[in-house]
Each structure stands twice: as structure tokens, then as C-alpha cells.
Amino acid sequence: MSPSLPASMTAIEIKEFGGPDQLQPTHRPLPRPKENEVLIKVAYAGVNRPDVIQRQGLYPPPPGESDIPGLEVSGTVVEIGPDSSPLHIGDRVCALVGGGGYAEYCLAPARQCLPIPEGFSMEQAAALPETFFTVWSNVFDRCQLKSGETFLVHGGTSGIGTTAIQLAKAFGAKVITTAGSPEKCDACLALGADLAINYRSEDFVEKSKAFTDKKGVDVLLDMVGGDYIQKDISALAADGRLCFIAFLGGPQTTVNFMPVMLKRLTITGSTLRARSGDFKSDVAEKLKQQVWPLLETGKVTPVLYKILPLVQAAEAHKLMESSQHVGKIMLKVAD
């Protein structure tokens, strides 16, 4: 270990599974990078819905990953494990990690580190990995959204939603989204959505059918589940693709599958955290080649809602659970 590195660090741990107040500052030994890993001095960490679910005891980290929450960070490489080239000490990166982000230092697989986009601040960069990896792998790789197709994403003002709206629009799709208030609908339209539906007062199936001249949408990204599942199926066009990435409304419901057969629908879903390093590295390379240029030209940009200090992680989780936010909630760890 470099003599300039401390032996321990401040981190946020889950004392017991439960509410936000179970997130407490603690001291942990400094982690050491193994083969193909780097140690990052964290500047900012993103707060994501999976962190909340982990805190509740419903989303354990994969074997071998840190029990400290946090799936994305930005910062500076300060130590390199064996065979972790082409990264170098001093490189400014953002990274998708399997855990450990709510800390002063975080291990990251070298191939899941991406350069800070030109012109981006550290706080902007930390908002990229989790949502951009998720949207790209599901919307573009798994569901093969194409230019000219119509795309619907639920929760348009979430981190996933704000990312999906912009990326789908940037690649030539027509974009529909749902949100829970007129103000949030306006925010979605400002990001490029062609239609924003207030799910509290409007039927997204009727609205999306009207928008598409009764055809329906080609790709639908859902993190709600529950009683939305049947509605999602109804909203899809022939040969439509439905992808689940979470079930905030529950994973179970009663479904009539006849439309799936009659419309030749594809229903799929995925989680990102447990996927292999090779899979994540492949997504990282695609983002670097196809999305980073859009970030650097300003065509796509992360939406930041609020930045809180690391020791206020509990407040960040309370804010996320309130669903008041539009975009990403971040933790500031260091300058």
C-alpha cells in the first residue's frame, strides 16, 4: 500500500435491515485491489433504488461483494491491482461497482471503469454508471429499440427514466413516459419526451394507443410490475418487447396471456448487479463508443436533483423513498 494512503476509511454501513436510519457512518479497513481491480478515492457516489432495497434486507450483495451499499462512483485511481492496465494511478474515472460505493475508497473492476466524459464534473460522472448501464443493456441490447420505433418508460423522472428518455430520443425513437404530477410530466417533456402521461389522472394504455394511432408501443421498460403488467401487455404493439427491471408494485399479478400470443410479444427482464464481469465490461465498451460522444457534445446529460454529504446517506434514502426527486440523488464524499 502506498504510504500516502490511510489504513482505514469512513463508510456507511447498514447496522440492521430496516429504515433509512439504519444507515450509519463507520470505520472500515482500506480495501486492497486484487487482480484486475483498482482502488478509487471516491469523490461522489450515486444513490439508487437497489441501495434502498438492500437496506431493507431484500437485495443482498452477490458473493464476494462489499456489504457497504453503493453501486456507482466517480473519483481518482489511487492503487492498481495486478493486470489492471490500461488504467494508471491518477486517472479520473467513473465506475459501476457491485457494492462499496458509500465510502471514502471503493474497489472497482478495471474494465468497469470509464473515463470522465470531457467537460463533465465528478458529480455528473458519478450519476452515469448504474442508470446508463441498465438502460443500454435492457432497452438497446435486450429489446433492440430502433430508430423510428415508439418507446414507453414508466417513472420518467427517476434516474432510469431521465436516462431512458434522453437515450431513446438521441437514437431516433419516439418517447412516451409516465409520471405522477403535472410538474413531473413537464420535466419529462423538457428532456425530450414526445408524450408525458400523468398516471394518477390518465390511463397510459389509452393515451399511448391514441398517440400511436392505435398501434401501441414497440418497446416498454417497466420497473413497477404488479397491476401494471396486464396494462403493459395491452399497450404493446404487435411484435412489441416488454422488459422488467424492478417490481416496485410487486412481482405477482393475474395475467391474461392471450395477447402475448396473438401479438407475438416478447416479455423479458434482467438485474444488473449479479451479471458477470465480462457482461458488464462489454456494456462499458458499448457505452464508451456509442454514448460517451453524446455526453461530450451535450446531446445527453444526467439530471442531478440533490447532492448530500456522505454522512447524510440516511437523508438521501428518505428523499428517494419520498419520490419527490427528478433525476439523481448523489452523495458527496470528497472534493
- pLDDT band of residue 73 (cuts 50, 70, 90) is very high
Whether the bond between 62 and the residue before it is cis, its omega within 30 degrees of 0, is no
Domain boundary among 242, 269, 296: 269
Please say if the pLDDT value at position 210 is more than 60.
yes
- Where in the sequence is the domain holding 92, given as residue range(s)? 8-128+273-332
Residue 107 and residue 63 share a domain: yes
Mean predicted confidence (pLDDT) in 195-218: 98
Number of domains in the chain: 2
Q: How far is CA 229 from CA 162, 222, 232, 245, 257, in A?
A: 21, 9, 5, 12, 11
Residue 236 and residue 139 share a domain: yes
Residue 140 and residue 73 share a domain: no
Q: Is residue 56 part of a domain?
A: yes
Give the pLDDT confidence of 164-188 residue by residue, as tens digits.
999 999 999 999 999 999 999 999 9
- Cβ-count burial of 101 within 10 angstroms (0-12 exposed, 13-18 middle, 19+ buried)? buried
What is this structure's pTM? 0.95
Name the average pLDDT for the chain: 96
| Domain CATH for 198 | 3.40.50.720
- Cβ-count burial of 10 within 10 angstroms (0-12 exposed, 13-18 middle, 19+ buried)? middle
Q: How far is CA 320 from CA 10, 44, 290, 307, in A?
A: 23, 17, 30, 12
Q: Distance between CA atoms of 58 and 50, rounded to whole angstroms?
A: 9
Q: Is residue 2 part of a domain?
A: no
Give the pLDDT confidence of 5-23 residue by residue, as tens digits.
999 999 999 999 999 999 9
